[in-house]
Structure 1
Amino acid sequence: MGRYFLLLFIVPFSYAVQAQVTKEYYENTSMLKAEGTLQNGVKEGVWKLYYPSGKSQGEETYANNTLNGNVLYLHPNGQPSLTGTFSNGKEQGIWKEFYNNGKPSVQAVFKDGLRNGLYKEFYANGQISIDGSFKSDLKDSTWKEYYPNAQSKIEGRYILGNKEGDWKEYYENGKLYHQAFYKNGKIEGKVFWNFPEGTKELTGQYTAGKMEGEWIDFYKDGKPQSVSHYKDSLEHGLFEEYAESGAKLFKGFYKNGLADSTWQYFYNNASSTKKSVEIWNIGKLMSAPEYYDQTGVKLNAGALANGNGMRYFYYPKGAKMMDINYQQGLESGIAVSYYENGVKKTEVSFVMGLQDGMMNEYYPSGMMASQTNYVHGSENGLHKEYGKEGWLSVYGFYKNGSEDSIWFEFHANGKIFSEGYFANGLKEGEWFEYYDTDTLASRGNYEHGKPVG
């Protein structure tokens, strides 16, 4: 009897030692982040979560260190942000997301971690924005999307993630924007897009998801803007473009997506006076034998032949506009453009058809306006801009075509106007603006280009 009593005492004591309330803190602070039970080193039961402010962030339920049971997450104002249930670490049943005003933003049904069943999204005003269903995490139902004013935006049907049958898109004013037919997830047959007023913007056709045949872009008055032809989604055949007046601007031919054969360009006037002629060979310019001013007077087109040599461009009245050298049918070396009065406008360096090296731009006065370095066709490296009197106004660096460095703007007296960092073309971190007296005018923080705080 005494031995049995001793065992009863030892077992509960041993369990109490192994199961203990544990608290987690935000790194390098004393601010509570989470608290709950650890049993044999793994999370068990309900764990409570906290914001750095100390307010509740919600709670999670664990079994053997795996989410299992109800979860509740809260916005900082105490309104729920997400509710749902886990079963052995996988979402199960109805899940709901909420805006911080308490209205629902998303409702979904899960089975074994995959969306299965009804799916809805809502705007912050409570109006439904998406209404559909999933099967094994693939869209599989009639699918409808709406504008905040409840007007239909998109309607169609998915079968296991693929669009099927007629699909329609609408403007917020209720007018039809786009209509297409899908087969096994690929567009098939004739398609069109409309302007908000209801007139055609673009017409064409697809075969097994690829653009084929004649495609026409329209102006709002119904006149054609361009007529092109496609094969396997590549431009192939005659291409023509027109001014809004109806005057033809140019016509030429493509072969498997590359300019080919004879291209003719015209001035935008009543008689469509010929401007120039080019001869292409599968994406490479071989010659440019003709150039005319707007009255039809023939000008010196240059010495480009067999893809090599200099070619000239002109303003409508006959003043030279640009000199470009070609090698093997591609721009090569320094190309120079001019203002109509003959003052140099730009200097651009090309290597095998791509900008490579420093591009210089000039004001009509001849003063430098900007300098930008290019590598293989995109801005990479130093960028400077100057005021009309010659003072440095902008200083920074590009990477793969986007601002990506510390970036400065300057007042005319040389004092810094603004400074901050760009990452992939978007403002990041702290930015400062100053008066021309060097005193701080404003400061702000950015994340992915958007102001925060």
Structure 2
Amino acid sequence: MRKSALSLLLLLTTLFVTAQENTIVPDGYNKFYFADGKVSSEGFMRDGKPDGYWKTYWENGVVKAEGNRKNFELDSIWSFYDETGKISLQITYLKGKKEGIRRTYREDEVIEENFSNDIKQGLTINYYPDGTIKRSVNFENGLENGFAREYDSHGTIVTLIEYRRGFIVDRENINRRDKNGMKQGRWKFFYENGKVKTEGTYRDDKRNGYFKEYDEKGNLTDVSKFVNDIKQEEAPELVKLDVRTDYYPNGKVKTVGSYIGDVPEGIRREYAENGEVKAAFTYRKGKIIAEGIIDDEGVKDGPWKEFYDDGQLRSEGNYRNGNRIGKWRFYHPNNNLEQEGNYNNQGNPDGTWKWYYDDNSLLREESFLNGESEGIFTEYDENGKVIIQGEYIAGREEGLWKYQLGDQREEGTYRGGMRNGEWKYFYDNGQLAFQGSFIDDNPNGRHVWFWPNGKKKDEGEYINGMKTG
């Protein structure tokens, strides 16, 4: 089992950093000291290795880190503190792996991350200093997946970001106010389950344009038109929102659809005589934006197509019980292929996936195994030059990775999705720009930055992410 940052930190700080001779008690309680005689760390040893509860200290006597080992492995909550005694990090472990919540404390926010078997899973939430939510995003197997929400200091959602396997596929700014506190632009209000309840546009704090209301399943239930916050009762295009039902001669439902006047809006379902949904369409202002079966519970099934507002095809593939399966293709607004790949029967990406620029040139190539990145990852610029390359194992970066970010080149190694070992950055002239080592993504040891002419720009010493010099 790989050593964690805490293991290495403890060994470095307790066994080797001291400048005076210490006698190690291989089975019993040990204390280690700084050169001035102050305690640097203390805890139990068993068979010559740290076990049980340990503490390490700053040179001013304040506790730097404390936590427990069980059978030599990190266990339960480990806590880290700055030199004033203020907590900076808490990590929960089980059998040497992160399991549960990791909290990072910063001046302007607190970050709560959830881990399972050392992999980030579920919600990661950033909090403002007063405890209100600042940002939330869902993780699956270490990658962002689904919708992220960003909040202002009053608790209002101001940005919606959609992720697909760690990549941003859509971003929408909503619920914004101007410097005078007036609502401007697109606003959305939500149910507790995250579904949109109401959406519409504000101008100078007044409703202007169409406002739509939905039920908790996402079905459109009403549309109203406002001008300067006054509801237009006689708006010809909104005389009535009709839910129209057609029937077979035997009285069974044939079609159900909603309309604004005579223009389809929302979901329209077509039923077979046995009551099964045989086709469904989603309309916006009379245009089909999605085509495929949605049952009465809102579950998608069978062949599906989704469209841009102008009618251009956006995506196509198959659903089974609400999961994408088989081959799927996604398209740019100019109808050129944007992304293609396969989903397995569980709805997880599987096999080789490819992304394209809107001129059809290859942007990225990546392989998946049951939803986790697995194998070589390569990303290209618009001229076909490799800008990122490395390998994933079980959804996490592993081994040597190389990046070409603008005029700067970076290279270094990952272990378990975190930077471990030496990393180097280079200017476009090949001159070294940075050199330093990391342990589990935390700066460790000597870090040096250089100017383009090779002269030293800055340097610092770190222990497990904490700058010590």
Range of TM-score over shorter length: 0.3 to 0.5
TM-score by length of structure 2 reads: 0.46
Structure having the higher Rg: 1
Query: What is the TM-score of this pair, normalised by structure 1?
Result: 0.48
- Structure with the greater relative contact order (CA < 8 A, sep ≥ 6): 1 or 2? 2
